[in-house]
Amino acid sequence: QVQLAESGGGLVQPGGSLKLSCAASGSIFRINSMAWYRQAPGKERELVAADTRGGSRNYADSVKGRFTISRDNAKNTVYLQMNSLKPEDTAVYYCNAAILRFGDYKLDDYWGQGTQVTVSS
């Protein structure tokens, strides 16, 4: 079994900052890519930021220069530092990881349960 556990969401005023964390646990042989997605009410889930094991990172245009994704491979954890937050950043944020499991060495996609980020005055 593999699980992703997110933390760090909450309510913040416009212009403020939050840092999300997502820790992977279980029968993990290797984690390839890790990413953050978000879904606002009435909208489709969208990619916010992604980090490959090789260190390549990409961001949605709407968050470039404000959000930073980083990883701690020793802790199987990915972070999302969010600065200069705007009301339109309000959404449920989901962690995603492509993980190779011990045993069957099958590569699968995993999702966290989501954490709410609300940007409002």
pLDDT at position 8: 96
Dihedral (CA of 95, 27, 108, 53) sign: positive
Per-residue pLDDT of the chain (121 residues; tens, 9 = 90+): 899 999 999 999 999 999 999 999 999 999 999 999 999 999 999 999 999 877 799 999 999 999 999 999 999 999 999 999 999 999 999 999 999 998 888 889 999 999 999 999 9
The secondary structure of 18-77 as a DSSP string is: EEEEEEEEESEEEEEEEEEEEE-TTS--EEEEEE-TTS-EEE-TTTTTTEEEEEEGGGTE
pLDDT at position 22: 98
pLDDT at position 15: 98
- The residues facing 46 across adjacent strands are 38
